[in-house]
Amino acid sequence: MGTNHPVAATFGMFFYGTLKRGQRNHGYCRGALEVRGATVRGSLYDLPEGYPALVVPENNILTVGTADPVRDAGADLGAGWKKTPAPEAPTVFGELYVFDDAAERLPAIDSLEGFAPGDPTSPYRRVLVPARTDGSTTAAWAYVASETRGRHLPGGRWPA
Say how many residues make up the chain.
160
Q: Where are the beta strands (DSSP E) in the chain?
A: 11-15, 34-41, 43-46, 52-55, 63-64, 91-99, 124-133, 136-145, 151-152
Among the residue ranges 1-10, 31-40, 66-75, 140-149, the one predicted with the least confidence is 1-10
Question: What is the pLDDT, as a whole number, of residue 144?
Answer: 97
Query: 63-101, pLDDT tens digit by residue?
Result: 999 999 999 998 655 445 555 555 677 999 999 999 999
Domains of the chain, earliest start first: 11-152 (3.10.490.10)
Question: What is the pLDDT, as a whole number, of residue 10?
Answer: 92
Residues 41, 60: contact at Cβ < 8 Å?
Answer: yes
For the whole model, what pTM was predicted? Answer: 0.89
Q: Give me the chain's average pLDDT, please.
A: 88
Mean of pLDDT values over 18-41: 97
The candidate with the shortest Cα–Cα distance to 93, out of 39, 154, 17, is 39
Residue 31 has pLDDT above 70, yes or no: yes
Question: What is the pLDDT, as a whole number, of residue 5?
Answer: 38
Query: Ranked by mean pLDDT, which of 15-24, 58-67, 71-80 comes out on top?
Result: 15-24
The candidate with the shortest Cα–Cα distance to 154, out of 28, 11, 14, 45, is 45
| Preceding amide of 159 cis, omega within 30 | yes
User: Cα 112 to the chain's mean position, in Å?
Assistant: 13
User: Cα 9 to the chain's mean position, in Å?
Assistant: 16
pLDDT band at residue 118 under the 50/70/90 scheme = confident
Question: What is the pLDDT, as a whole number, of residue 4?
Answer: 44
